[in-house]
Amino acid sequence: MRIGILGSGLMGGKLGTLFAKAGHEVVFSYARSRSKLEALAREAGPRARAGTPREAVQDADALLFSVHWNRVDDVLRQAGDLSRKVVVTCSLPMDDDDTSLIVGHTASGAEVLARKAAGARVVSAFGTVPSEVLTSVFEAREGEARPSLVYCGDDDDAKDVAAQLIRDVGFDPVDAGPLQVARYLEPFTLLIAKLAYEGHDGPTLAYRFEHFEQRA
């Protein structure tokens, strides 16, 4: 697939690199500087390049939406028309201090994004693990049990694309239902962040859902 990265920060930079290593063509866009984008592309190898948001969108099979919430309108303006595009978002609706969600329970950042990017097929994914764990999971995937990664969305084809990308970076995709479930998925992300950044064991944290047989 051809994947455009809208927001090449911690998450976008790392995921784009892993997507390229997994065999996809990647266009990094929207970082502090063009040179940051070019450095990312160099490190990610021959399948990656730097571009503008509009170039990232052009001919993309999927977009990774990974900007800070206060950049949503700006990156959407730069990206242009997203109609029918598969948009995989891990952008949380945090306030400028990154202290609390500014959209919630009766809404979610993913739903707001879907309304703003009218016509785009938005899937919420990748937000629920810290960027620090991505490379370890990607490299650990041979043989070892995969951690889970939940995603949700309203378009089945777009969800299939997201599930494939989740698999490509070494996680086991777990379908949590329609996009509205992002109302729960986004706070779950903050729970993971609490454990990863304020817990004892550090940020290389993932999670796995497991089924236990009923014996009683």
What is the binding site for a copy of itself (CB under 8 A)?
A: 100-101, 104-106, 132-133, 135-137, 139-140, 147-148, 150, 174-177, 181, 183-188, 190-191, 194-195, 198-199, 201-202, 204-216
Classify residue 94 by its DSSP letter: B
Whether residue 86 contacts residue 65, with contact meaning beta carbons closer than 8 Å, is answered with no
Q: Which is nearer to a copy of itself, 71 or 188 (CB)?
A: 188
Least Cβ distance, residue 69 to a copy of itself (angstroms):
14
Least Cβ distance, residue 175 to a copy of itself (angstroms):
7
Whether residue 87 contacts residue 65, with contact meaning beta carbons closer than 8 Å, is answered with yes
Classify residue 145 by its DSSP letter: P
The H-or-E segment that residue 55 falls in is helix 53-57
CA 17 – CA 88 distance, rounded (Å): 16
Distant-in-sequence, close-in-space partners of 26: CB < 8 Å, separation ≥ 6: 2, 3, 4, 5, 16, 17, 19, 20, 41, 44, 47, 48, 49
Whether residue 141 contacts residue 167, with contact meaning beta carbons closer than 8 Å, is answered with no
Q: Which is nearer to a copy of itself, 51 or 127 (CB)?
A: 127
Least Cβ distance, residue 55 to a copy of itself (angstroms):
28
Q: Which is nearer to a copy of itself, 6 or 94 (CB)?
A: 94
Least Cβ distance, residue 188 to a copy of itself (angstroms):
5
Least Cβ distance, residue 191 to a copy of itself (angstroms):
4
Q: Which is nearer to a copy of itself, 126 or 207 (CB)?
A: 207
Q: Which is nearer to a copy of itself, 63 or 192 (CB)?
A: 192
